[in-house]
Each structure stands twice: as C-alpha cells, then as structure tokens.
Amino acid sequence: MDSQIKAIPEYTQTVEAQELTFAYSTNVGSDVLAVDHVSFSVKKGEYVAILGRNGSGKSTLAKMINLLEYPDSGKYKVFELSANDEENFWTIRSNCGMVFQNPDNQIVGTTVEEDVAFGPENLSVPLPELALRVEKALGYVGLLEHAKKQPSAMSGGQKQRLAIAGVLAMEPELLILDESTSMLDPKARDEFLHLVSRMRQDKHITVLHITHDMHEAFLADRVIVLEKGKLRVEGTPSEVFSQVDLIRELGLELPKWAELLWEVGKLTGHEIPRSAFTSEKEAIKTITEILSERKELSAPPARTARKVPDQVMLRVKNLAHSYDKKEKKTISDISFDLKKGEIVAVIGHSGSGKTTLISHLNGILRPLEGQVEIWDEEEKKYITTDKNTEIKKIRRHVGLLFQYPEYQLFEETVAKDIMFGPKKMGYSEEEAKKLMMESLPLVGLSEDVLERSPFELSGGQKRRVAFAGILAMNPDVLILDEPAAGLDPVGQKEIFGYIETLRDQGKSIVLVSHDMDKAAQIADRILVLKHGRQTFFGTPRELFSEQSDYLSMRLDCPLLMRTMKELKKTFPYADELEFDVERAAESLVFGGREVTDA
C-alpha cells in the first residue's frame, strides 16, 4: 500500500476545479444536483471559507476534494495531481485532513493516543516515528496529559482538538473543516479557531472551512458562497459581505459590526463604501465619518415598550442539588422568577449546571433543597414540584425542549409524534389532534408533513416537529435548551421568530443560550450561572452596565456592545446597552440631537 502514496511534487495550487457536478437520486425519482457545475481554486497556504445554507452542497463539494465523494462530471486537480486519476487516490487523501461537525462521531480510538495514532497507523508509519508523531500532535493541541484517557470523558472542545491532533499526526497539506465549530460553546470555539490559525502560521497548512458563523468567515482570505449547489459569489470577505442584499438573499447574515454599519447607512441615507466592510475597525471609522456629517434627518420611528404582566408563572426558591451526597453540589442557591409573557435567558459555560437547573423545572428532577413553584391558572394557586405532586400536573404547565431535540422523534408519522405528548397528558384523540393543528403554524410547519415519516425530513424540519411536539402539550411555561443550535442563520432566525411570537401570545419562556448577543437582545431578564451558583439575575442592561462585574463572571460581552463601546468614545450618547442592532443604530444616529417632530 505504501507504494500507492507518493511524495507530492512542488505545487502552488492546492485545488483547481472545473465544472464539478454531483447528483444524488431522491426517492421521488428525479436526480437532484447537490453540486452544480462549480469551478473554483484554492492557492497553497490560503484560508478559504465556504458558506451557504444547509443543503447548499458545501459538504459534498469539500468531500470531493479528499475523494470521499466523486463528481459525476468535471475535472479537478488537488496538489496539482489529477483527482480524476485513480492512481493519485491515496496520495491526495493522505495529504488532506478533515475535521467534522460532531465530535463524538469521528473518534475511533478507545484512548486519546490510540485515536491520534489511527491515521498514521493506516498510512503504515512505523515505530518509533509513529509514537513521536502522536506525542507531538497531542502536545501541539495541548492534550498530552490526557493521552491515556478515554475520549468519552472529555468535553466537546477537547474532542474537537483531539480530532485536530488526529489530522496533524498525518502531516497533511490541506485541512478541511466541515462545520467543526458548530457544536462548540463560544470559549471552545475561540480556542479551536486559535489553534487553526496557529497551524497556518507554523505549518503553512491550507485551510478550507465550511461554516455558518460569519465572524469565522471574516478570518478567511477568501469566501465562496454556494446556493442550491451553484457557486453564487466569490471574493474577499469584504467584497462578498458588502453586497448586503445579496448576502441576505443567500441566507447568510452579517457580523454584528457590519449590521450596525448597514443600519447607520440606512438611517442616514448614506451609501456605504465597500472598503468599510473590510474589518470592524474600518466600519467604526466609516460610522464615525457618517455621523460627524450631521445630515438633516426625519424623526426616528416611534416604538412602544412591551409590557410584561405581573403574574409570576414560575418561581424558584433557594434551589440546590447534588447527584451524589458526598460530592460538591451541582447547583446551589438558585432563586428567580418568570412572569407571564417574559423571556428569561440562562447563560453560563458548559458544565455550569444549566441542564441540572432546567431538569428541575418540569419535574425530571425533584428538588432536594429549596422549591420550584408553578402557577396553576385554572385553580388560581401555585403547585410545587416536590415528590408529592403528580408529574403529569407539572408537565401540563411546563414543557421542556432539550438540545438537538430532533433525536427524540420516534413515531412512524409526524402527526403521531406530535400527538404523543398531548395523549400522554391525558387529552383525548380529538383534543390532541386539535392541539397538534394549533401548534403547526407556531413553528412554520404545513399540514402536508403530517403523514410523512419524521426521519425523512431535513434537520431543520425535524427540529420544528420536535418543537411542535412540546407546544402541542399546551404548556404555559416553555423551557428551551439552545433551540437554534446547529441550524444555519436563516433557520436560527426563524426559530427565534417563533419564540418571540410565543412570548407575545403570553407564553413564558426560559431560554438556555450560548449566544450572548441573542440572549441580551431577546431576554427580559438574564440568569447567570457559574460553577452551579447563580451569580446574577436581572435585566440585560443591568448585567452589562458599568456597575456590574460581568467580566468577573467570565462572560464575554455581546459583540454588538463591543462595537458600540468603541463608538461611545466619540459619541457619548451612543447607547451601548441597546442590544438590538436597529435600536443601537438609532441611538447613534438620533442621539445627541434635537429632533423636531414634523
């Protein structure tokens, strides 16, 4: 086998592809083009981001490069070797490393070091070089002290670093990242990206990065955007993202600073130059120039503040829990309340006790210490979730949707799956059906999915079905654990749209989120957990105000706030505690000036 892997001759082009096309057949019969006549190239040492909605053909395109998929037509070269030529198969593949989305599903080894060794073992690397490569790779990603451990005991971030080590040990020329950061929390994501940029510097590795995160896209030298298998735009991040309308049409979003820039332009009627989209710094400069001009403006749009009724739906008092009596408490001293039509966001790093806390809210865990009270609208009194309360009674009021809930679908049809919950709650077939029909439009599902199998739907559709399954139980209080995780920007936006509608209809929502910008924007109040302790409970404004010590809670401030704080230095009236882009832009444009009502 060794003879099949040859040394790569000197090259300057990592990928050169012409008219690549890949079709897959559907059960309807007609073929669908996953990749449709795509031509592109990647230079040696370049960092290229591939963007596009889920199902736009990004992964298929990437997998063709290391020959995990073969094009139906089109010619391409990788490392200037013809990829259509079978002779180059192992040479090309052995020089490409790929890190996938799900950390768990790419670890082969029973121990960390065995997993790193897997690639080089397959490449017939002999001892002692093999052991040396493993040690070096583990050292590089900072996992050397975990070498003998079981991978399953590690965090998501560590697992993805392990995957990188496994790739590094193969000493590849090209690193393909297939949404590798999408399941990581912000801290782990930063570490991962830092590691990748270090590898580019030290090892001059070429990177092809499929991502939904626009801040990541800005790290790239060049961006390629796919839509339905076709290459739509290509260029430097600023070239691509300055075409704001097109970007939105393609289902992408802008980084927060670019959104702010765009809004300011819109409010003042300024054309934004392309160069302003190069970086956050450029954007701030441009905004400053625009605002200094002080053009004549019409009045800002009138806004009415949303009123939250005073009825407390859920009250947690001094809640504490430990899984093992001898061990430290997983959570302790948690006290908060949730009002009707209110959103409370729970934030905290992985392992801060978020899952333990929300498990208490619908009776999966009964409180050992402290109390959870739920308002019963019919009987006009509070019920507690202690051992004596019937579980069904609790779950009629509180619905809980766990992270990646599409895994909980099990029935033959979507309709049966959605009705499972309501029927278990004791509703009759007819009532359950009625509840199901009411829940469908709330999550943007149409009736024609009802008789289909949930397993043949797309990821985003499955997520909605699972969501509908909880809504159909008609709870007053919804607990949502990272409801938008892993979806593309459009999918995320839609889910948060549904959440806002539900809130406006009077549902009370506890939202667990990693996304600080989203939490600050959507939540009425925020609960911060750190090592199982509640370190803050109050409005987003209070949390991020000067007086608060959110930094000591090791929280990152929202990205929008970071940009606004910079601008505040020049424009003291800038409201950096406004977490909605439109309103933040309004504070900049209309702040500090007398607006004469026309």
Partner 1 sequence: MMKDVSIGRYVNGDSVLHKLDPRVKVILFVVYMASIFMARSPVALMATFAVVFFMALLSRINFIEILKSVRPIIFIMAFIFVINIFTIRSGDELWRWKFLVITTGGVENAVLLACRLLLLILATSLLLSLTTTPLKFADALESLGSPLKVLHVPVNEMAMTISIALRFIPTLVEETDKIMKAQSSRGAEYDTGNIFQRAQGYVTVLVPLFVSAFKRAEELAVAMDARCYKGGVGKTKLHPLRMKGSDYLWFVILTVVAFLPLAVDFLWKMK
Q: What is the smallest separation between the CB atom of 170 and partner 1, expressed in angstroms?
A: 7
Q: Are 225 and 240 in contact (CB under 8 A)?
A: yes
Residue 477 CB, nearest distance to partner 1 (Å)? 12
**Using rule CB under 8 A, residue 570 touches partner 1:** no
Q: Which of 188, 207, 470, 487 binds partner 1 (CB under 8 A)?
A: 470
Closest CA relative to residue 581, chosen from 118, 224, 259, 196 = 259
Residues 531-550 that bind partner 1 (CB under 8 A): none
Distance of CA 425 to the CA centre of its chain: 32
Residue 374 binds partner 1, judged by CB under 8 A: no
Is residue 399 at the binding interface for partner 1, with CB under 8 A as the rule? yes
- Let me know the angle formed at the C-alpha of 61 by 70 and 453, rounded to the nearest 5 degrees: 90
Q: Which stretch binds partner 1 (CB under 8 A): 35-43, 113-121, 372-380, 542-550?
A: 113-121
Q: Does 170 interact with partner 1 (rule: CB under 8 A)?
A: yes
Q: Shortest Cβ distance from residue 232 to partner 1 (Å)? A: 26
Cα 199 from Cα 219, distance rounded (Å): 14
Identify whether 128 is preceded by a cis peptide bond (ω within 30 of 0).
yes
- CA distance linking residue 279 with residue 277, whole number of Å: 6
Instruction: List Cβ neighbours of 505 (8 Å cut-off, separation of 6 or more).
Output: none
Which residue stretch of 46-54, 90-98, 281-289, 494-502 sits at the interface with partner 1 (rule: CB under 8 A)?
A: 90-98
Contacts of 443 (CB under 8 A, 6+ apart): 464, 467, 468, 471, 498
Please give the structure tokens belonging to residue 178: 């297939």
For partner 1, the closer of residues 166 and 483 by Cβ is 166
Cα distances from 149 to residues 152, 164, 410, 428, in angstroms, run 9, 17, 34, 51
Identify whether the C-beta of residue 206 lies closer than 8 Å to the C-beta of residue 175.
Answer: yes
Site size for partner 1, by CB under 8 A? 67
The smaller minimum CB distance to partner 1, of residues 157 and 251, is found at 157
Q: Is 362 in the site for partner 1 (CB under 8 A)?
A: yes
Query: Can you tell me the distance from the alpha carbon of 483 to that of 358, in angstroms, rounded to the nearest whole number?
Result: 14
Which one among 151, 229, 237, 532 touches partner 1, defined by CB under 8 A? 151
24 binds partner 1 (CB under 8 A): no
121 binds partner 1 (CB under 8 A): yes
- Residue 121 burial (C-beta neighbours within 10 Å; 0-12, 13-18, 19+): middle
Q: Which is nearer to partner 1, 307 or 387 (CB)?
A: 387
* Consecutive H or E run containing 318: strand 312-321
Contact flag: residue 421 with partner 1 (CB under 8 A): yes
By the rule CB under 8 A, 65 interacts with partner 1: no
Q: Please tell me whether residue 107 binds partner 1 under the rule CB under 8 A.
A: yes
Our finding on whether 66 is near partner 1 (CB under 8 A) is yes
Q: Which of 200, 105, 228 is nearest to 162 (CA)?
A: 105
Is residue 413 involved in binding partner 1 (CB under 8 A)? no
d(CA 354, CA 567): 34
Q: Which stretch binds partner 1 (CB under 8 A): 61-69, 70-78, 273-281, 508-516?
A: 61-69
Looking up tokens 């500090």 gives 592
Token pair 């200037």 is found at 80
**Residue where the block lists tokens 């934030």:** 347
Q: Tell me how far, at minimum, the Cβ of 485 lies from partner 1, in Å.
A: 14
| Nearest alpha-carbon partner for 524 in 346, 331, 332, 302 | 346
Stretch that binds partner 1, among 256-264, 342-350, 419-427, 536-544 (CB under 8 A): 419-427
If one counts every other C-beta atom within 10 angstroms of the C-beta of residue 5, the result is 17
* Near partner 1 by CB under 8 A: residue from 57, 166, 348, 558: 166
153, 302, 305, 598: which one binds partner 1 (CB under 8 A): 153
Sole binder of partner 1 in the list 63, 228, 393, 452 (CB under 8 A): 63
CB of 112 closer than 8 Å to CB of 152: no
Residue 122 is a binding residue for partner 1 (CB under 8 A): yes
Can you tell me the distance from the alpha carbon of 13 to that of 174, in angstroms, rounded to the nearest whole number? 11
| 113 touches partner 1 (CB under 8 A) | yes
Among 93, 146, 270, 433, binds partner 1 (CB under 8 A): 93
Q: Check binding of 573 to partner 1 (CB under 8 A).
A: no
* Contact flag: residue 405 with partner 1 (CB under 8 A): yes
Query: Can residue 450 be called a binding residue for partner 1 (CB under 8 A)?
Result: no
Paired with 50 in beta bridges are 210, 224
Establish if 196 lies at the interface with partner 1 (CB under 8 A). Answer: no
CB of 400 to partner 1, least distance (A): 4
Q: How far is the CB of 56 from partner 1 (least distance, A)?
A: 19
Span interacting with partner 1, options 126-134, 224-232, 281-289, 494-502, rule CB under 8 A: 126-134
Query: Do the beta carbons of residue 425 and residue 396 sit within 8 Å?
Result: yes
Using the rule CB under 8 A, which residue among 24, 70, 410, 573 binds partner 1?
A: 410
Alpha helices in 36-148 (DSSP H): 58-65, 89-94, 112-122, 129-141
Stretch of 32-40, 92-100, 204-212, 338-346 lying at the interface with partner 1 (CB under 8 A) = 92-100
By CB under 8 A, residue 400 contacts partner 1: yes
Q: Which of 34, 117, 138, 485 binds partner 1 (CB under 8 A)?
A: 117
Which residue is associated with the tokens 């424009």? 571
Identity at 514, one-letter amino acid code:
H
CA distances from 417 to 180, 259, 364, 414, 479 (A): 31, 39, 21, 5, 19
For position 458 contacting partner 1 by CB under 8 A, the verdict is no
Pick between residue 108 and residue 551 the one whose CB is nearest to partner 1. Answer: 108
DSSP 19-76: EEEEEEE-TTSSEEEEEEEEEEEEETT-EEEEE--TTSSHHHHHHHHTTSS--SEEEE
Stretch that binds partner 1, among 150-158, 220-228, 539-547, 555-563 (CB under 8 A): 150-158
> Largest Cα–Cα distance in the chain?
81
Given the rule CB under 8 A, which residues bind partner 1? 1-2, 63, 66, 68, 90, 93-94, 96-98, 100, 102, 104-111, 113-114, 117-127, 130-131, 134, 150-153, 166-167, 170, 359, 362, 364, 392, 395, 399-402, 405, 407-410, 420-421, 423-425, 455, 469-470, 473
